Every structure is written in structure tokens, then in C-alpha cells.
């Protein structure tokens, strides 16, 4: 008996598939080796694609950490690493407009993502059992909003009618739930083995308990992907901010980035060159880098789950 129970978890657990070290020799027998021209073409195209994504990021990050002298020598953007200096970051993060904007963006993103996740997970679980009470009407209530949106003007009038203009709630509540994300979560919850949920229920677990102690721990991957989607949405939100926020001291980072990089407003401190301040380009690049850093940090951890998470959405949506 004890040997049996010892073996069971191994068989039933989420065992990794046997690693298949696929190498070049794995090409199926019927598939001919591509010709030299085709091969070279593929390599060139893929190299261009990768370079087109990473190249600009490389020069922007490098310029943001280059010293005034290196930037002057390069004549603008730096391609070859020279003298490294973090003066730009020290300058924009030592209080002032950019620092405030970073705090606003972090706060809105954290609060918004937490709220969105709670509401979406609850809704997705509540809708994960076709045939339950009011299942179809609620689902339709959600889906209709994907086909018809009210438009900018009524949305603005509503937010202003609720007195949310110039509040951070205006950056959170109108974009709090994405029906698409709920459908992805729901698709995943519906795919969870019914036997497990039933045994929980037979043991007397309520729906709440089933959700928090059984369903959620099984759905870490999809939850992470959806949290990334929401988080990126809040972090990147630009239009809602220019629509609902008129007080420039409440601006999130994206709006500040726009004014410094696209509208030519000088980054504070940029003018006093004599005081050893960072160079203008470095400051601009540093603001750009700040806007992409959270994404660059979280992305690698969540990225590997994309295909499955989005695939379910594609199948269900």
C-alpha cells in the first residue's frame, strides 16, 4: 500500500514531458534539407527582424548611461560603449516631474492590476460552469461590449459626471476589466478536471474555497499572463490620462515621456550644463528606459506561458 501511494503522486503530478533534445538530425526523413539560398535567406530575414527589435533598444539604453563626453563625441546616440555614467538617472529620479510620474504610474498600475485581477478571476470562475443560474445572460452582457462600444464622448461625460476627472480612479475604473481577458481565464477554468472540483465539493468546500485553494493554485501560468496583460495596459495607458487628467502634477509617466521626447519640452536640469548635469539626450533616453524597464523586468518570466494562454483565448474567443 505504502509503495502504491508513494508512486501515485509521481504518476499523477504535473510531470514534465520527457525532454527531447531536438537537434538538426531531428528533421523528418521525408523532409529534404533546404537549399543554400533558402537557408541563407531565412537567416538574413530572421537576423534583420531580431536586429530591428533589439538594435534601437540597445542604442537607447546605452545612450542613457553614457557620459556627456561620450554623447558629444558620438554626435547624439551612442553605438559604441564609451564612458559610463548614471548621472541622467540620478538627476531625473532625485525628485521632480519624472520622479512623481514614475510614482503615479507605479501606484496606478499596482492598484489597477490588483483590482482587475480580483474582479476578473471572480467573474471568470463564476461563469466557468455552463448551465448554472443566469450563466448565459451574464455571458452575453459581457460579450456584447466587445461588439459595440459607446464611444469617447459618452465615456468622458460619464467620468466627468461621476466627478472622477483629475482623480486616479479615472485611470483605473473605466479600463478595469477586459472582457477578452475574462474569456481567456474562463476558458482555462472550464478546462480544469471536474473530478478535482467535485472531490473538493464533496469534502464540503464552498465555491470561494474551491476557487482560492484549488483552482487558483492550478492556474498560476494563465493568471500570470493575464496579470501581465492588465499591468501592461495600466502602465502604458496614455489616452485615458490626457482625456481625464488636466492637472499636470498628476500625469503618469507616459504623458511625461511624450512631453519630453515628442513635444520637445526640456527635461528639468537639462539647461544647466555647467553644473555637471547629464546631457540632454541621456536624460531623454533615461525617461524612455524608465518607461520600458518594468516591462523588460517582468516579461522574461511570463513570456514562456504566452502561447498556451493566448491559444486558449483564440480557441474560445
Partner 1 sequence: MTAGIQRKMPPLENGGEPPAEDPMTTGTPPERGSAINGRLGRGVEVVPRAKANLRVRFRRDRSLVLMALPAVLLLAVFAYLPMLGNVVAFQDYSPYIGIPGSPWVGMDNFTRVLADPDFWLAVKNTLVITAFQLVFFFPVPIALAMLLNSLVSPRLRSAIQAVMYLPHFFSWVLVVSVFQQIFGGAGLLNQSLRAHGWQAVDIMTNPDTFLFLLTSQAVWKDAGWGIIVFLAALSAIDPAQYEAAAVDGANRWKRMWHVTLPGLRSVIVLLLILRLGDSLTVGFEQMILQRDAVGAEASEVLDTFVYYTGVQNGDWSYAAAAGLIKGLVSLALILTANKVAHIFGESGVYSK
- The C-alpha cell 478595469 sits at 176
Burial of 40 (0-12, 13-18, 19+ CB in 10 A): exposed
Does 24 engage in binding with partner 1 (CB under 8 A)? yes
Does 19 engage in binding with partner 1 (CB under 8 A)? no
Closer CB to partner 1, 1 or 217, in the complex = 217
Q: Which stretch binds partner 1 (CB under 8 A): 4-12, 83-91, 256-264, 267-275?
A: 256-264
Q: How many CA atoms lie within 13 A of 5 on its CB side?
A: 2
Considering only residues 135 through 164, tell me which ones interact with partner 1, judged by CB under 8 A: 138, 141-143, 145, 147-158, 160
Does 46 engage in binding with partner 1 (CB under 8 A)? yes
In the complex, what is the shortest distance from the CB of residue 166 to partner 1, in angstroms, rounded to a whole number? 14
- The C-alpha cell 466587445 sits at 146
- Work out which of 92, 257, 277, 278 binds partner 1, going by CB under 8 A: 257
Does 203 engage in binding with partner 1 (CB under 8 A)? no
Query: Considering only CA atoms, which of 237, 245, 232 is closest in space to residue 113?
Result: 232
In the complex, what is the shortest distance from the CB of residue 266 to partner 1, in angstroms, rounded to a whole number? 14
In the complex, what is the shortest distance from the CB of residue 245 to partner 1, in angstroms, rounded to a whole number? 13
Does 94 engage in binding with partner 1 (CB under 8 A)? no
Per-residue DSSP letter, 248: G
- Work out which of 68, 102, 174, 277 binds partner 1, going by CB under 8 A: 174
How far from chain centre, in Å, is Cα 174? 18
In the complex, what is the shortest distance from the CB of residue 182 to partner 1, in angstroms, rounded to a whole number? 7
Closer CB to partner 1, 7 or 220, in the complex = 220
Q: Which residues contact 200 (CB under 8 A, 6 or more apart)?
A: 209, 210, 213, 214
Considering only residues 181 through 200, tell me which ones interact with partner 1, judged by CB under 8 A: 182, 187-188, 190-194, 197-198
In the complex, what is the shortest distance from the CB of residue 89 to partner 1, in angstroms, rounded to a whole number? 17
Distance set, CA 96 to CA 101, 168, 190, 274 (Å): 9, 19, 48, 20
Cα–Cα distance measured from residue 20 to residue 129, given in angstroms and rounded to the nearest whole number: 37
Amino acid at each position: 500500500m505504502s509503495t502504491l501511494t508513494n508512486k501515485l503522486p509521481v504518476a499523477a503530478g504535473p510531470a514534465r514531458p520527457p525532454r527531447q533534445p531536438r537537434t538538426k538530425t531531428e528533421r523528418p526523413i521525408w523532409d529534404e534539407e533546404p537549399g543554400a539560398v533558402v537557408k541563407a535567406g531565412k537567416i538574413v530575414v530572421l537576423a534583420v527582424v531580431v536586429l530591428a527589435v533589439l538594435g534601437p533598444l540597445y542604442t537607447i539604453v546605452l545612450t542613457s548611461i553614457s557620459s556627456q563626453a561620450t554623447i558629444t563625441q558620438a554626435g547624439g546616440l551612442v553605438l559604441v560603449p564609451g564612458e559610463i555614467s548614471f548621472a541622467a538617472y540620478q538627476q531625473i529620479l532625485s525628485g521632480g516631474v519624472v520622479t512623481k510620474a514614475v510614482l503615479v504610474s507605479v501606484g496606478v498600475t499596482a492598484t489597477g492590476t490588483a483590482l482587475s485581477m480580483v474582479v476578473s478571476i471572480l467573474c471568470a470562475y463564476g461563469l466557468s460552469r455552463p448551465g448554472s443560474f443566469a450563466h448565459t445572460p451574464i455571458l452575453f452582457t459581457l460579450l456584447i461590449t466587445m461588439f459595440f462600444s459607446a464611444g469617447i464622448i459618452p465615456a468622458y461625460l460619464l467620468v466627468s459626471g461621476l466627478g472622477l476627472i483629475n482623480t486616479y480612479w479615472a485611470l483605473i475604473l473605466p479600463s478595469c476589466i477586459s472582457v477578452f481577458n475574462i474569456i481567456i481565464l474562463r476558458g482555462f477554468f472550464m478546462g480544469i478536471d471536474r473530478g478535482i472540483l467535485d472531490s473538493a465539493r464533496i469534502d464540503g468546500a464552498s465555491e470561494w474555497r474551491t476557487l482560492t485553494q484549488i483552482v487558483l493554485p492550478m492556474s498560476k501560468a494563465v493568471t500570470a499572463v493575464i496579470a501581465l496583460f492588465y499591468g501592461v495596459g495600466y502602465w502604458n495607458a496614455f489616452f485615458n490620462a490626457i482625456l481625464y487628467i488636466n492637472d499636470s502634477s498628476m500625469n503618469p509617466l507616459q504623458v511625461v515621456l511624450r512631453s519630453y521626447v515628442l513635444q520637445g519640452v526640456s527635461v528639468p536640469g537639462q539647461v544647466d550644463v555647467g553644473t555637471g548635469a547629464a546631457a540632454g539626450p541621456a536624460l531623454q533616453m533615461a525617461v524612455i528606459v524608465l518607461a520600458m524597464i518594468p516591462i523588460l523586468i517582468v516579461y522574461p518570466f511570463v513570456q514562456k506561458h504566452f502561447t498556451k494562454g493566448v491559444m486558449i483565448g483564440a480557441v474560445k474567443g
